[in-house]
Amino acid sequence: MKPIVIAQLTDTHIREGGAFAYGRVDTASFLARAVEHLNALQPDAVVLTGDLVDYGTAAEYETFRTLIAPLRVPLHVIPGNHDSALIWDAFPSGDTARAGLGHTVDVGPLRLVMMDSTIPGAPNGLATEERCRYVADALAGGPSLLFLHHPPFLTGIAHMDRNNCHEAARLAAAIAPADGLLAVGCGHVHRMISATVGGRRTLIAPSPAHAVSLDLSPDGPATFHLEPPGVLLHVVTREADGWHHVSHLSPIGAFAGPFPFFQEDGELV
């Protein structure tokens, strides 16, 4: 079976008219390059795990829609703490999404469960009882991936951990029995980080723009670095012994290669 490839894009932080974020980050140009990158990769779907825009205004969503329009892959979005309810005007979804629970998308045999973790006006997330029930019901059955904006684990980056997904133990308990759940994908921290939650591999995807600084001191300031941008690929395959998930970091940029390891006679170059 051909692998199912889900590309995870996150935290694009677009401002109105393509204005720079924080006076420095050209998030519009970064998103344009991410779209080119994804069009070249041609995954089966793209999941955008929140913070599409910075202030949640209609004008920002309009700019976002213009920038994402060249994407030639189906796109599914969930909100982050920088989004607003206007996200569902820009990307219409069902009643459960508008109700703040989430929504579900099937890509062939693979189910994508997209959980809303946001609280209007708050920087942190929350795994409410209703959301966890929605996720547990949606996960029942075959192979699946779960996506939410706020990580349900501590990263060691203190100022981000204060605003992660609160009540994460409830979410861990909700997903633990879901045999088909292969992995969990999050955003919010703008850098590639992994942990185990509810017995599942749980990954934070990098941003296609700026990265939250890697500072593990307890009083580290809220700062960012312009590290190499990227997307995360979730590759799902069916083998004789069942479904498997493997993740790949795909950096965005122009890199020299490919170069062969071997000459025509089979000797190493």
Cβ-count burial 8-41 (b if 16+ within 10 Å, e if not): bbbbbbbbbebeebeeebbbbebbbbbbebbeee
Residue 134 has which token pair?
A: 């929605």
DSSP H or E stretch at residue 244: strand 242-251
In angstroms, give the least distance from the CB of 188 to Fe ion.
6
Q: How many residues of this chain bind Fe ion (CB under 5 A)?
A: 2
In angstroms, give the least distance from the CB of 155 to Fe ion.
13
161: exposed, middle or buried (C-beta count within 10 Å: 0-12, 13-18, 19+)?
Answer: middle
Residue with Cβ nearer Fe ion (88 or 224): 224
Give the one residue of 4, 6, 11, 203 binding Fe ion; rule: CB under 5 A: 11
In angstroms, give the least distance from the CB of 10 to Fe ion.
7
Binding region for Fe ion (CB under 5 A) out of 45-53, 146-154, 196-204, 261-269: 45-53
Residue with Cβ nearer Fe ion (54 or 131): 54
Residue with Cβ nearer Fe ion (22 or 74): 22
Give the one residue of 51, 54, 83, 227 binding Fe ion; rule: CB under 5 A: 51
Residue corresponding to tokens 């344009």: 32
In angstroms, give the least distance from the CB of 106 to Fe ion.
27
In angstroms, give the least distance from the CB of 146 to Fe ion.
19
Q: What is the DSSP letter of 18?
A: G
For residue 256, the tally of other CB atoms under 10 A from its CB is: 5
Task: Spell out, one character per residue from 124 to 153, where the chain touches Fe ion: x when CB under 5 A holds, - when not.
Answer: ------------------------------
Question: Alpha-carbon dihedral of residues 58, 187, 158, 198, nearest 10 degrees?
Answer: 130
In angstroms, give the least distance from the CB of 213 to Fe ion.
13
Binding region for Fe ion (CB under 5 A) out of 46-54, 84-92, 95-103, 116-124: 46-54
Region at 253 (left for phi over 0; alpha for psi -120 to 50; beta for the rest) = left
Binding region for Fe ion (CB under 5 A) out of 17-25, 51-59, 173-181, 221-229: 51-59
Half-sphere exposure of 19 (CA within 13 A, CB side): 12
Is 227 a residue that touches Fe ion (CB under 5 A)? no
| Neighbouring residues of 40: CB distance < 8 A, sequence distance ≥ 6 | none
Q: Which residues bind Fe ion (CB under 5 A)?
A: 11, 51
